[in-house]
Amino acid sequence: MSEQERQQNRIALPQLTGGWRARVRYQAGRIEADLYTVNNPESRLAVRVQASVDRARAASGRRAGAFEWFSGSLEEEAYGHLETARETLVMLEDDDSVRAQMSSFASLAGASYGSPPSDPPTAGEIRANLDRSAMRRLLRDQDAAAAERRAAIRELRNRVLGITFLLTLGLLIATLVVSPVFLRVMGLGALAGLLTAVVPLSRAPGRHESDGLLGAVALLKIPAGGVTALLGVVLLRKGLGGLQPARDGIALFYAVLLGLLQQALTGHVDRQALYLTSDEASPAPATTHPPVPPTG
């Protein structure tokens, strides 16, 4: 990258919007802008920072196949290079620049959430000594926690997509053997499930990166509504607990109602997804053990 290109990147940083690629480019621009403030930009460590930034940008520009998307390997590669750059940069910055960040490092050291694996120093020790090695350890712990959180999001997303595939496959098989009435039941149940998809999506604005998790949860509602309606109407064909038998128009009414009620079954997944993409689940600095999401 030429000096002119670097200067342009410094002046106009990418906006922090979009998916992980945009976030990587944004953070790369921030690190590169900070790199211009070091006293010796031609030093070996400065060259290493710039090389890590360039690798992160390159990874964010590569096309991901199915394996990379499901595993997140390309995303983690890009973030890994950013983390290396950030952890190296703190060893380069002058004392004034480090002091300007002291409140952030003090908050990292003062976080009391989980059991920090690397025994981080106290905020007072960092302030007194400008201990760059300690700061680097704190950044590494924070980065490890962030990586665990991204992995948890991808794992839940992949499980939800797997369940969605199986439910959809079951509905497709059912279309080959059921009567036209039950086809309408499945269709109405799926439409009712689609209406409940707004529950996770309505809370998406302002959330942390979800790597497609909230979209996967919303998609789950559609086949879940169809399957719930089909099974419910079959069970209610002869009436149950004083309810009218599920025949003709009553069956279609039950289909809509049961399609909406699948929210009671998928609500647990909603809560997990919303938790993992919330501020509450953001990894606490100085620990690699984020809290377990709620189960109720």
Most distant pair of Cα atoms in the chain: their distance? 82
Instruction: Kindly give the confidence (pLDDT) of every residue in the chain, 296 residues in length, as a single tens digit, with 9 standing for 90 and above.
Output: 444 444 444 433 334 445 889 889 999 999 998 888 887 777 888 899 999 999 999 999 999 889 989 999 999 999 999 999 988 888 887 777 666 666 565 555 555 434 444 555 544 444 445 567 777 888 888 888 889 999 999 999 999 999 999 999 999 999 999 888 889 999 999 999 998 888 666 665 555 567 888 889 999 999 999 999 999 888 887 666 656 666 778 888 888 999 999 988 898 998 898 888 876 655 544 333 334 444 44
Contact, 76 vs 254, CB < 8 A?
A: no
Contact, 223 vs 193, CB < 8 A?
A: yes
Triad 171, 172, 177: Cα angle to 5°: 90
d(CA 253, CA 256): 5
Cα four-point dihedral sign 260, 264, 268, 271: positive
Residue 119's SS3 state is: coil
Q: Which residue in this structure is represented by tokens 């999401």?
A: 293
Q: Please state the length of the chain.
A: 296
d(CA 110, CA 284): 10
Q: Find how far residue 296's CA is from the centre of its chain.
A: 20
d(CA 236, CA 251): 8
- Structure-token pair, residue 126: 């960092």
pLDDT score at 116:
45
- Structure-token pair, residue 93: 């910055």
Nearest to 23 by CA among 65, 79, 69: 79
Residue 121's SS3 state is: coil
pLDDT score at 163:
96
Contact, 285 vs 107, CB < 8 A?
A: yes
Tally of helices (H runs) and strands (E runs) in the chain = 14, 0
pLDDT score at 12:
38
- 206's torsion region: left (phi>0), alpha (psi -120 to 50) or beta? left
Q: Which residue in this structure is represented by tokens 């952890």?
A: 87
d(CA 81, CA 79): 5
